[in-house]
Structure 1
Amino acid sequence: MKLLNKYILFAGLAAGSLAACNKQLEEYNPGSTTSDPVYSTPEGFESLVNAVYTYNRWWYGKEDGYNISEMGTDIWTSGTGDVYPDLTNYNNLQASNGAIKNLWQQLYAAINLCNAGVNRIDGSGMTEDKKKIRGAELRFMRAFYYWHIVETWGGVHFTTKETDGVVTTANRTPIDTFYAQIFRDLDYAIANLPLTTSDYGRATKPVAEAFAARMYLTRGMNQQAADLAEKLISGYSYKLLPKYSDLWRMDNLVNTEVIWAVNYMKNLVFDDRKDATLYPNGHSRGANNAHMLFTMKYDDLPGMQRDIANMRPFNRYMPTLFLLNLFNEKADARYEASFKQVWYCNNTKTAPAGMKLGDTAIFISKYVLPDNPKYRIYDRNDIYKENGGGLDRTRYISMKKFDDATRASMNEEQSARDAFILRLAEMYLIAAEAQFKLGNASKAADYINTLRKRAAIAGHESEMTVTAADISLDFLLDERARELVGEQLRWFDLKRTGKLQERIAKYNPDANAYLKAYHLVRPIPQDQIDAVTNKDEFKQNPEYN
């Protein structure tokens, strides 16, 4: 059974008082019920815990989350349809940005619900064993959400108390305080979570350990990161799938490599696209929409029309030339598994003479190619400027690893694809980076070679093998891009390693034109700044207007 495939009965009840520092505190309570009696019953408290998980759906597999976590890096630039080019390229990034506002509100709503649960669990009526597990889940999720907040905005508002009434002040808390709480919560979660769960999607002890490994690496605690990552690799039943492409099959989403995922439902009703109770202010959430965001505009070209198999082309993001050139596609199967460069004729009415259904209609290449009289070609010189910046932002090699041809219609925005948050391959990468920083490049190479062996095209294994001499921080970031492209980690990786400015300067001329040092944190939403009464204490992040 998948977790969260039931409506969260009391989620609207919880949401009414969650956004502690929002300017407009519109409390909506359709049943005129307070949270006190609801959370004092085991059933009611279970609804609180389930609701805590649902806030993942605002970030993972969603456009706002992609713009904050993947864009503005060395591997992506704007497609023609990019809604937030200020995040993708830092051009006039300000506190009015919609994605930043939305995610600030939802993350703090999640934190408030976690705090409510942690502080109310003793009165929940649950058994002691169940209280221990649910309390550990709440602490894990609080750590998880606070990581997103502190890395995105820096030392902003922090509390472990539930909001009581309207709050009009906010605090500025040091980053170290955030991480001290994150590690306290993770220690508790690791000590009290079960090893497994029958409810797919709930946090378990290995989930908490995997996230703790990421946190240790983030904070430069390399031995702890290496030890926990190795535990995930060798101490549990997680296994790398034999083929990288198998990770992205819609019929194989629950597999031995996934440690934790946001699970989306085939019955899209349960993914809460629209709900007056849960979102009384008109917000929507819904299921995974990654399949649209990385797809180029193909449906207006000869021989093509929009269909389910080729996705609905929102044309939001295009790969940088640097990202495409990171792959040796003759040796590394991850390129073919991740990207699409051929479109086949599905519309003979607009096809050139002689083109039949199934023939190549469009071919896109990162190399310079001669024209072909039989089909349309877009090559490196058509798509990218001489310096690698974007030229044609409408036609480009598209990322396909999140495609979903099982959608009910060609215009369906939602996909039942799970969004992977933690998978075993990341543990190999964490272990490799930690060992490299500890001075053991040979062991780091061993971890990397395990991933590269899985990715090697038959007969090209030797080309994919690396040695200790090949390992550097930049190589490890390159390898993370090849393995984890699009998985909502890239901006955090570059920030964590201190490489954001350097690598954008080298590899993303579109963003380099605007990137400044202060962009290492995002602007606090303007309505948050306007709402607080202690404006001398809670100010905008430096340099933002």
Structure 2
Amino acid sequence: MQKIMKKIYYKFSLCILLGIGISSCSLDEWNPSTVDVETAYTNRGGFESLINYCYDGLYYFYGKVDGIGAMEMGTDLWTNVTNTESGFILYNSNMNPQLGTLNTIWGGMYATVNYCNTAIHYAPMVEGYTEAERNVKVAEAHFLRGWANWHLVEQFGGVSLTTVPSTETDRASQNNPTRSSEEEFYNLIISDLQFAAANLPDRTSAERGRLTKKAAYAMLAKALLQRTRLGDQEEYARLALEAAEELINNGDKYGAALYESDAQRSGFGKLWDGANNKNNTEFLFLEAVDHIDGRNPENWNRGRTRQYYLMDAKTTGAPWGMQENDAWLSRANSRAFKPTKYLLTEIFEPVADPADTRFKESFFYAYYNATWSDKVVSSGMVNTYGKNPNLVGHVIKNTAATGQSQVEGGRAINHMGLVNMVDNDGDGWLDGLSVFAPNWTMSAAEKADLPFWIVDPADMFDAEGKWVVAGSSASAIYDREVYPSLKKFSSLEWVYDRQNWMGDIPIIRLGEVYLIAAEAALLSSNDVNKAQTYINTIRRRAAVVGRQSEMEIDASEVTLDFILAERGRELVGEQTRWYDLKRMGKLNPTYLRQTNPEILFFDPAKHSVRPIPQPFLDAIANPTEFEQNENY
């Protein structure tokens, strides 16, 4: 792994002075434990270790259930299987100041702000730098402070905006925080990101994950676009378009490019190919994961995103040959989130062979026998699942075997889909297929005749578009646990076992920047032709060669609603959706009930921000003056 991965995750020994309770700290190359704070941070080695630690917050937000709940749930795309994160999903009484996830987000973002404030404070005093070298390094802190403050203001509204490190703040000020407006937050966020864009290097070849200009311009465009929700829409959209087009028009300079389709695979499919994960031309800002030495904040405990989206392979799928422990799929014990009907049948076109490959490349929906032995269809299975009696005795072939999952090192894992992936009986389907959960509806005759279990949208959802509940039909108790499972974070090269996926996680991709540019073009000057160009670029790369023209849209189709749907197709599961709905005015009862009828309790006067965590209010001296967010 690159040098940054050896240093970023080692906690420096003076970090306890930052006031966030870090108890185990060390330096990779330099140990300031015997000197005071000023001496430590004005030393080049100590300062660079401090900069490195500013990255830590990324690893507790992306690819973790806390960040997934806050960013993807309670939207038009997902609902729940269990009560996990139900406050975020349903806006019910579990969304309250005691919710632990909120405290995790609050504490993590403010810790990042404090690290960055410390670095920015001491930067002018650091010895051994030229001014340009110093600006390059401190630009990372400005970027990450802007990133953390962006999440704070979008999640919690106008809370406490801090620019002075805790080591330089008196106790009275710390105990009596004051609020700032959302506009003040954005003024600092934009200023920080502009500084980063001006001073970060064009690109870096030595340290994967280190911030460069492509990350800064992408984050700046994203923040400027989000700022349009507060007013001055045309001006901030114009600035967002400028930042986005700087990247789009200068991809060679910054090392950014979309993957191109060929006759075998779409460009969208290639970007999620595991072989491209560790050196991806579309990843602009990413969580870089050390897959060699495990030098991550939680060592090898990474990449569990996928298991929260997995259907019930543990019990419901077991009679047909699925199992909980399949390494490729993940482990089904933590499943919590499943797609809405709107996501499956309106965001994505519900047909068997669409020109758009993004549903196929984003979801598992064909599941194979992974039991290490052939599965014979029994009369009990025929009776329970409504199959034709002539299927009794049909053999579902075992497809499980041991494969090489890790590009560097060749770690062996066991998973489905490695052997017997054939159609020897000539029915048009692979003989090891055991469960099929398409987003299109199949006929009753097909579902009865084919030798595997099929659950399609007609089985998954009731007449209102809600997920079926146990007892609503004879099969509902089974049907409600079968659905397409997000697979963006499951490429086999980085599967280490059923829980750990050690691939890098993109935070902002180039595909999103094109959609930011399209939205900004509409908001700034209603330039539908420019927006059409950017949208069609993204849509063409989602089709294999030969079907790209089917993906193109006319200028008359370009609307904000179309762009919102396109963002769903492009970015599903990538921790963007809640902010998208907030920016576009879709966090309202009418839209949410229409697209996700499970949401019954959304109150726009309350739920456009989250409650302030109670532990914070209990710890400060002025909770009455600071005030809880409205209606919580």
1:210 aligns with 2:218: yes
Q: Relative to structure 2, which stretch is displaced further, 258-267 or 506-515?
A: 506-515
The 5 A counterparts of 1:157-176 are: 157-164=160-167, 166=171, 167-176=174-183
Mark the runs of 5 or more structure 1 residues left unpaired by the alignment: 275-284
Alpha-carbon deviations, 1:349-394, whole Å to 9, x = none? 6652422214111011334432335222222233222212222552
Instruction: Tell me how far apart the structure 2 counterparts of residues 408 and 507 of structure 1 sit (CA, whole Å).
Output: 34
1:434 aligns with 2:520: yes
The residue type equivalent to 1:355 in the other structure is I
RMSD over aligned CA atoms reads 2.3
Instruction: Tell me how far apart the structure 2 counterparts of residues 393 and 68 of structure 1 sit (CA, whole Å).
Output: 24
Q: 1:462 to 1:34 in 2, by over 3 A?
A: same
Q: 1:256 to 1:340 in 2, by over 3 A?
A: same
**Corresponding residue for residue 250 of structure 2:** 235
Instruction: Tell me how far apart the structure 1 counterparts of residues 465 and 19 of structure 2 sit (CA, whole Å).
Output: 42
Instruction: Tell me how far apart the structure 2 counterparts of residues 355 and 215 of structure 1 sit (CA, whole Å).
Output: 51
Mark the runs of 5 or more structure 2 residues left unpaired by the alignment: 27-32, 229-235, 261-266, 378-392, 400-431, 469-478
**Corresponding residue for residue 281 of structure 1:** none
With normalisation by structure 2, the TM-score equals 0.79
The structural deviation recorded for 1:452 is: 0.8
**Corresponding residue for residue 258 of structure 1:** 283
SS across alignment from 1:287? coil
**Corresponding residue for residue 405 of structure 2:** none
**Corresponding residue for residue 337 of structure 1:** 361
**Corresponding residue for residue 433 of structure 2:** 360
Structure number with greater Rg is 2
The structural deviation recorded for 1:110 is: 0.7
Among 499, 511, 523, the alignment partner of 1:425 is: 511
SS across alignment from 2:454? strand
Alpha-carbon deviations, 1:226-252, whole Å to 9, x = none? 122111111122211021111112221
Instruction: Tell me how far apart the structure 2 counterparts of residues 533 and 27 of structure 1 sit (CA, whole Å).
Output: 25
Q: 1:34 to 1:109 in 2, by over 3 A?
A: farther
Instruction: Tell me how far apart the structure 1 counterparts of residues 501 and 87 of structure 2 sit (CA, whole Å).
Output: 27
Q: 1:137 to 1:70 in 2, by over 3 A?
A: same
The residue type equivalent to 1:504 in the other structure is L
Among 44, 51, 54, the alignment partner of 1:52 is: 54
Among 160, 177, 191, the alignment partner of 1:184 is: 191
Instruction: Tell me how far apart the structure 1 counterparts of residues 35 and 338 of structure 2 sit (CA, whole Å).
Output: 48
**Corresponding residue for residue 294 of structure 1:** 309
Answer whether contact 1:4 1:54 (CA < 8 A) is retained. Answer: no
Instruction: Tell me how far apart the structure 2 counterparts of residues 296 and 259 of structure 1 sit (CA, whole Å).
Output: 31
Answer whether contact 1:14 1:113 (CA < 8 A) is retained. Answer: no
Instruction: Tell me how far apart the structure 2 counterparts of residues 456 and 249 of structure 1 sit (CA, whole Å).
Output: 15
Among 483, 491, 515, the alignment partner of 1:396 is: 483
The residue type equivalent to 2:311 in the other structure is M
Alpha-carbon deviations, 1:436-493, whole Å to 9, x = none? 1221112211110111111124443343111111011111100000011111111111
Q: Relative to structure 2, which stretch is displaced further, 1-10 or 444-453?
A: 1-10
Q: 1:408 to 1:495 in 2, by over 3 A?
A: closer
Alpha-carbon deviations, 1:101-130, whole Å to 9, x = none? 111111101100100010012233231232
Q: 1:145 to 1:530 in 2, by over 3 A?
A: same
Q: 1:387 to 1:4 in 2, by over 3 A?
A: farther
The structural deviation recorded for 1:5 is: 1.7
Instruction: Tell me how far apart the structure 1 counterparts of residues 342 and 515 of structure 2 sit (CA, whole Å).
Output: 20
The residue type equivalent to 2:190 in the other structure is F
SS across alignment from 1:522? coil
Which structure exhibits the higher relative contact order, with contacts defined as CA atoms closer than 8 Å and separated by 6 or more residues?
A: 1
Among 432, 441, 448, the alignment partner of 1:372 is: 448
Q: 1:351 to 1:400 in 2, by over 3 A?
A: farther
The residue type equivalent to 2:142 in the other structure is R
**Corresponding residue for residue 279 of structure 1:** none
Instruction: Tell me how far apart the structure 2 counterparts of residues 36 and 9 of structure 1 sit (CA, whole Å).
Output: 22
Q: 1:230 to 1:408 in 2, by over 3 A?
A: closer
1:156 aligns with 2:175: no
1:308 aligns with 2:327: yes
Instruction: Tell me how far apart the structure 1 counterparts of residues 184 and 290 of structure 2 sit (CA, whole Å).
Output: 37
Instruction: Tell me how far apart the structure 2 counterparts of residues 26 and 231 of structure 1 sit (CA, whole Å).
Output: 39
SS across alignment from 1:361? strand
**Corresponding residue for residue 402 of structure 2:** none
1:535 aligns with 2:623: yes
Instruction: Tell me how far apart the structure 2 counterparts of residues 148 and 16 of structure 1 sit (CA, whole Å).
Output: 24
Alpha-carbon deviations, 1:321-341, whole Å to 9, x = none? 111122225121111101111
**Corresponding residue for residue 113 of structure 1:** 115
Q: 1:295 to 1:4 in 2, by over 3 A?
A: farther
The residue type equivalent to 1:542 in the other structure is E
Answer whether contact 1:150 1:178 (CA < 8 A) is retained. Answer: yes
The structural deviation recorded for 1:295 is: 1.1
Instruction: Tell me how far apart the structure 1 counterparts of residues 520 and 309 of structure 2 sit (CA, whole Å).
Output: 31
**Corresponding residue for residue 13 of structure 1:** 13
Equivalent pairs: percent with the same residue?
Answer: 34
Alpha-carbon deviations, 1:56-95, whole Å to 9, x = none? 1111111111110111111111123x52111111111101
The total of aligned residue pairs comes to 528
Q: 1:68 to 1:393 in 2, by over 3 A?
A: farther
**Corresponding residue for residue 386 of structure 1:** 463
Answer whether contact 1:72 1:90 (CA < 8 A) is retained. Answer: yes
Alpha-carbon deviations, 1:472-515, whole Å to 9, x = none? 11111000000111111111111011112243121001124445
Instruction: Tell me how far apart the structure 1 counterparts of residues 70 and 25 of structure 2 sit (CA, whole Å).
Output: 32
Q: Relative to structure 2, which stretch is displaced further, 363-372 or 130-139?
A: 363-372
1:133 aligns with 2:174: no
The structural deviation recorded for 1:516 is: 4.0
**Corresponding residue for residue 84 of structure 1:** 85
Q: 1:393 to 1:117 in 2, by over 3 A?
A: farther
The residue type equivalent to 1:315 in the other structure is R
Instruction: Tell me how far apart the structure 2 counterparts of residues 29 and 192 of structure 1 sit (CA, whole Å).
Output: 29
The structural deviation recorded for 1:271 is: 1.4
Q: Relative to structure 2, which stretch is displaced further, 176-185 or 262-271?
A: 262-271
Q: Relative to structure 2, which stretch is displaced further, 467-476 or 197-206?
A: 197-206
Q: 1:19 to 1:155 in 2, by over 3 A?
A: farther
Instruction: Tell me how far apart the structure 2 counterparts of residues 97 and 351 of structure 1 sit (CA, whole Å).
Output: 47
Among 505, 521, 534, the alignment partner of 1:447 is: 534
Answer whether contact 1:389 1:510 (CA < 8 A) is retained. Answer: yes
The residue type equivalent to 1:436 in the other structure is L
SS across alignment from 1:121? helix
